[in-house]
């Protein structure tokens, strides 16, 4: 069974839940789905700090 995190209701649901545009997943476990927003925040922070993908100039380049 696959689990999803519903962005509309902030709950974990099964395959027959809300529309795909309103949820994250699929996840293998209910616990993984419950932690979906934390995982998104972690990944966003990693990507924001990744020099390969950072399009903001470095502090020493802003003159």
Q: Is residue 61 part of a domain?
A: no
Q: Is 11 contained in some domain? A: yes
Q: Is residue 22 domain-resident? A: yes
Q: Please list, residue by residue across 22-40, b when 16 or more beta carbons sit within 10 angstroms of its beta carbon and e when fewer do.
A: ebbbebeeeeebeebeeee
pLDDT of 62? 55
Domain membership flag for residue 58: no
- Do 50 and 27 touch, CB atoms closer than 8 A? no
> What local confidence, expressed as pLDDT, does residue 49 receive?
83
Tell me if 60 is assigned to some domain.
no
**In 3D, which of 36, 40, 44 has the Cα closest to residue 3?**
36
Q: What are phi and psi of 2, to 5 degrees?
A: -100, 150
pLDDT mean for each 10 residues of the chain (63 residues): 97 96 97 97 88 67 54
Specify the pLDDT at position 33.
97
pLDDT given for residue 47 in this prediction? 86
Number of independent structural domains in the chain? 1
Structural domain harbouring 36: 3-53
């Amino acid at each position: 069974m696959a689990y999803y995190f519903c962005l509309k209701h902030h709950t974990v649901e099964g395959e027959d839940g809300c529309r795909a545009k309103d949820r994250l997943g699929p996840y293998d476990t209910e616990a993984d789905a419950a932690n979906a927003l934390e995982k998104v925040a972690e990944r966003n922070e990693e990507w924001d700090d990744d020099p390969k993908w950072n399009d903001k100039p470095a502090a020493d380049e802003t003159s």
